[in-house]
Structure 1
C-alpha cells in the first residue's frame, strides 16, 4: 500500500477546499481502515463550506455517506475481516456527556460528526470505528450502499422513529429533493395514504409521483390547502415533513395538519420557526418535532430492505464524479443541476 492518498480538505479560516496528498491514516484500537468505494455529497457538506454550519476543526476531510472495503484492522478489532464490504456510521458518541455515561449512546448530547469533528471519506481511505460498521449484503451495489448512511437512513429514522408513520396516515412532504424523495419512498413503505409531494419544481414533482407519491402539488399554489382537503376527504394531514427548513414551508406544513397532527422538520437553515397562531396551534393540539440523524441499526435495516428488493434506489444516484472533480459535484448540487437526489464521489 502507498504511504499517501488523495483527499479533499476543507479549511475553516477561509472556507476553501483543496485536493491534497496526505498520509494514509493508521487505524487505532477498535478502528478499521477502509478503502473508499463511494461517498455522497450532502447539503450539510455545502453548509460547512458556505458557513451555515459552524466548523469543528480548522482543517477536515469532508464526506460522510460512504461505502468501502476493509483493508486493515486496528488493535482489538473482532468480528470483522479484511475484505469485508462495509458502511461506516457517520457519527461517534462523545463518551463523556450524561447520556453516554448512562449508556444511551444513540442520544449523545455532543455527537462527533464524521466530516465535521473528524476526517470524512472524500478520500481514498478512511478510518472508521468498528463499533458503528454495517456489513453490505453481497447482492447490494456499493454505490447504492453509500446512500444509506444519512441520505436514506435519516429520512428512515424520521418516518419510523420521530414521526411514527403507520398504515392509513395521510402524509405530505414539503421539498422533494434528495431527502424529500426518500421520505416519499419510505413513507409509502410505512403505509401512508394518501401521500402528497409538495415542491416548486415540475420535474421533481413528477419524479416524486413516479417513486410513490399519490398526488403532487405546487407549494406556491394559492389553493394548496383546499386541494389537500379535497384529496384527504376533509381530514387533512396526520404527518407533514418539512425537508426544506424555512419559515414558509414549516408554516404551511403546520397549517395542513389535522387535529393532533405533527410536523417533522429535517431541513436546516438559520431562520426561526414560525408555527402560526397559538390559538390555532394549541386548540388543534398540533406538534412540531425536530429531527436529525439515525440509529446505527437503521443502516442495517435499510441494507436488508435493499437486499430483499423492498427498497429501490436506482434513481437516487444522479451522477458520479471522480475525487479529482469533487468541486464540480459540489457546484452541481449547489446549483441543482439536473435536480440531483445524490451525487457520489468515487475516489
Structure 2
C-alpha cells in the first residue's frame, strides 16, 4: 500500500487531524522506518496550543512526533549501514547544512505509520529494550541527561535541585541518582509528582509554596545551597525561586521552555556569588543515545515505569488532552500506529 495514516498539525489554525496521506519514499541517504512507538511530549502540546511555532518548516502542516522507535522498512540509494527489519531509535532532530532541524516540528515526525530519517540520524535499539521505552529516550531521557552531564556538568556528591517532576524532571531525578548527585531535592506543587520523585530517587520532595523551602534546602545542604538547579517547568517563578537557593558559583540550568522573561531580583548578589544561568535544549544524540541505551541494557536504568499508557495513533488528540489535563499526572504517553 502507498497510503498511510498520520497525525498532522495545520499550523495556522493549530488543528490536529488524523489524515490518510501518501507513504513517503526514502531518497538517497535516507531510510523509511515503520513506526512501532512514538512518545507524546509537552512540546507537542505546545505546538498545538500555539506556545511553540516551527521556525524552519517548509509549508504550513507537519506530522508531529519527535520521540520515535521502529523497524527499518526500506533503504534509499547509497545506504549500506542499515538493513530491512533492524530495530532502531530515531534522533529527535537532524543537522542540515549546519542547522539543527527538530523532527515533528521542522519536518515530518513519527505520529504516523511510517516516517523518514536520514541514515545517520538513528541508532540501533537492542532487542532487550521494548519499543515503548526506546521511543522516549531521544527527548524525555536524553534531554535531562544532556542538561545534567554537559550543560550543568554535575559532579558526584554535588547538591542539586529539580523543579518540575513531570516527564523530563522525573527522569532527571533518576539520572542524577545514577551519577551520584547528593542530595537530590525535587520541587513540585503536585503531591503525586512529589511522591513520584521520591520513588525515582529524590532525597527530599518539596512544595514550592512551602514558606520554609529556603530553610529546608539550607539544612539539607549544610548551609551551602545547591550547586546546580534545573528548571523543567519553564515557569518564571520557578527560576526566581531556584536562584534564591543556589550556592556560590551555583548553576541554574533552564530546560523548560517559556517565552516569558527571566528576572534576577538581586543582581548584585548574583554577581558577587559568581552564579550562572545556562540555557539547555536537547542533547548530543550521537553521544547521548548510545550511552543511555547501554545503561538501560545493562540494567543500570529502567524506564518501564515511565510508560503511563499506550494509545493507538487514532487517539493522538485524546493523548494530548490527557497530558494537558494533568489530573492523572502521566509521565509519558505513547502512541502505537
- Structure 1-normalised TM-score? 0.94
Counterpart Cα distance in 2 of 1:70 and 1:245: 36
1:281 aligns with 2:270: yes
* 1:313-343 residue CA offsets vs partner (Å, 9 max, x unmatched): 1211111110011111010001114111111
Give the match's secondary structure for 2:198: helix
Counterpart Cα distance in 2 of 1:209 and 1:342: 18
Match of 2:298 in 1: 308
Match of 1:247 in 2: 236
Give the match's secondary structure for 1:72: strand
* 1:56-90 residue CA offsets vs partner (Å, 9 max, x unmatched): 34011001101000010011011111111001111
1:18 aligns with 2:17: yes
Match of 2:336 in 1: 346
Match of 1:329 in 2: 319
Counterpart Cα distance in 1 of 2:127 and 2:309: 23
Correspondence list, 1:101-140, <5 A: 110-140=99-129
Gaps in structure 1 of 5+ consecutive residues: 101-109
1:78 aligns with 2:74: no
Q: CA RMSD in A?
A: 0.9
How far does residue 92 in structure 1 lie from its aligned partner after superposition? 1.4
Correspondence list, 1:1-347, <5 A: 2-55=1-54, 56=57, 57-95=59-97, 100=98, 110-296=99-285, 297-347=287-337
How far does residue 276 in structure 1 lie from its aligned partner after superposition? 2.4
- Structure 2-normalised TM-score? 0.97
Gaps in structure 2 of 5+ consecutive residues: none
How far does residue 275 in structure 1 lie from its aligned partner after superposition? 2.5
* 1:181-235 residue CA offsets vs partner (Å, 9 max, x unmatched): 0111111111100110100011110111011001111111111000000111211
Give the match's secondary structure for 2:168: helix
Runs of 4+ in 1 over 2 A off after TM superposition: none
Counterpart Cα distance in 2 of 1:85 and 1:323: 20
Counterpart Cα distance in 1 of 2:143 and 2:51: 20
Counterpart Cα distance in 1 of 2:326 and 2:114: 28
Q: Is the Cα contact below 8 Å between 1:254 and 1:276 reproduced in 2?
A: no
